[in-house]
Structure 1
């Protein structure tokens, strides 16, 4: 007898749960613009001919850069929440 797979654990307090890297990069580029994004996280994929696809290729292979993107994304979410409360 086979059993059904266990449901994915819920993470209600994790703001990154369910957010793809592509969505993070797209929203950061829309919010800050590529220039400021490159100033905040100085990596070539943001500063020289930036695009979502080139950024994803780099970030998927570079854990330290992905951590910086996730941190900046969380910062952006806090800023948006703070601005909405005003």
Structure 2
């Protein structure tokens, strides 16, 4: 015979007040955690964004050249 597992619930189903309290507590904790965050300055954000854009451009040029070379090689091998 197989045993059925009991579903463990921490709160009664359909208890709207309990769900509201859990949501309220969660949002208060989120607010507290967001106060602890050290947000970057505008200068830091701009310099990081520029670094990302520069890296994307460099990698895209590299991949474009590699694609061009490999496509020519395949064209030579497979006439």
Fold equivalence (TM over 0.5)? no
TM-score, normalising length from structure 2?
0.34
More helix by share: 2
TM-score, normalising length from structure 1?
0.32
If asked which structure has higher relative contact order (CA below 8 Å, sep 6+), I would say 1
